[in-house]
Each structure stands twice: as C-alpha cells, then as structure tokens.
Amino acid sequence: MIILGLTGGIASGKGLVARIFQERGAHLIDADRIVHELLATGEESWREVTEFFGDRIQRPDGSIDRSKLGEIVFNDAAKREWLNSLLHPKVFQAFHAQVKRIASRSPAALIVFEAALLIETGFLRNMDRTVVVYASPEQQLARLMERDRFTREHAEARIRSQMPLDEKRKHADFVIDNSGSREETERQALTVFEQVKQELEKDR
C-alpha cells in the first residue's frame, strides 16, 4: 500500500488531478468531503461551530452556509485557527479510519489523500509520497474569481491564507504544473501515477 498526499493551493487544480488518479483506480480520500460530513446538520462539529459563530453562518434550515463561514475565517486569522484546531484532528481521525477500511479490502491499494492544508498541518509526515499541483498566483486569482464569483479582494484573501505554492513545491516528491492546458496537466498526472504504481508493484 502507498499513501499519496495530493495538495496545492486554492484553485490550483487539485480536483482535476484527483479525478485523474481515481479514474485510474486509486482510492481517493477527500479532506474537504470529510469536512462536509463533519459539518452536517446535527453532527457534533456542527453544534460546536454554530455555537461559536452564531446564526450568521446558518441558512434558514439550520445548515451551515460554508461560503459565509469561509468569508469570516479567511479574513480573521484567530477564528480560522479556532476552526482548524476543531476540525483538523477529526479529519485526520476519519482519514485513518478510511485507510484502515481500504487496506483491509485491498492491501496493495494506492490511496490518494487530497488535502489543501496537508503541509501546513504537518500531516505530510503520514504520506509515503506527496504531489503538489502548481499554478501561478495570477492563475489562481483568475480561476478563483471565475469559479466562485469572488471579488478580487476576497480571492486574494483566500490565497494569502495558505502557504505560497512556491514554498509548497519544496516539500513535494512530484510537482504537476497546471499552468498550461488541461491535456498537459493530464499527461503529467498520468506520468506521476505510473511512477507511483511501479513503486507499488516493486513492494508487492
């Protein structure tokens, strides 16, 4: 079994690379999806978060509006730190549980853990190999404004809240440059996938 950490910056293209790996047979664990599940209405984390932030982050049905929550925490470092300290341990606990389930069924599995803050949290040390998906800050900004309809100020705040991609690249075993065409990104992703699969085959 090999656990491949997949990270990058916001709007750098992690999701595209994750889908390519998954389509080739990798088992994908998505940190953001785990967060969605943790914040589902009625869950323990939902109660803690709504108590801390109040009803300003809730929709009429009581569910958490993640866009409103994001707007608050990405502009307030102290609140962002509180939220991360609450959610990150639970995300990693869920990750380990999923790895255990996958390994019990497929001992030679290739598991991809997609997590934006893999390096910042220090959870990188739990990965066998790490992929960083790169795009220039200008591309991140343009994509984020187009994809999420953010203002420039809002998009820049989101990007600033994360470690610069040039710094993340220093921690990578593989870098996939997503600054060109989709086809070029796919080519790089497949090359990485085949290299990791070969390493997995050698260990069997």
Residue 83 main-chain phi, psi, to 5 deg: -65, -45
**Per the structure block, which two tokens stand in for 204?**
């069997």
DSSP state of 4: E
What is the CATH number for 35? 3.40.50.300
Residue 195 makes CB contacts below 8 A (sequence gap 6+) with 174
Domain count, the chain: 1
**Per the structure block, which two tokens stand in for 44?**
């323990």
- From first to last of its 204 residues, the chain has per-residue pLDDT tens of 999 999 998 889 999 999 999 999 999 999 999 999 999 999 999 999 999 999 999 999 999 999 899 889 988 889 999 999 999 999 999 999 999 999 999 999 999 999 999 999 999 999 999 999 999 888 889 988 998 888 888 888 888 878 888 899 999 999 999 988 999 999 999 999 999 999 988 866
Residue 74: per-residue pLDDT: 82
Residue 19: per-residue pLDDT: 95
Residue 204: per-residue pLDDT: 64
Separation between Cα atoms, residue 172 and residue 129, nearest integer Å: 8
Residue 161: per-residue pLDDT: 79
Read off the amino acid at residue 199: E
Q: Containing H/E element for 163?
A: none
Residue 17: per-residue pLDDT: 96
CB 121 within 8 A of CB 13: no
**Residue whose C-alpha is closest to residue 85's, from 122, 37, 57, 41:** 122
Domain containing 171: what range? 2-202
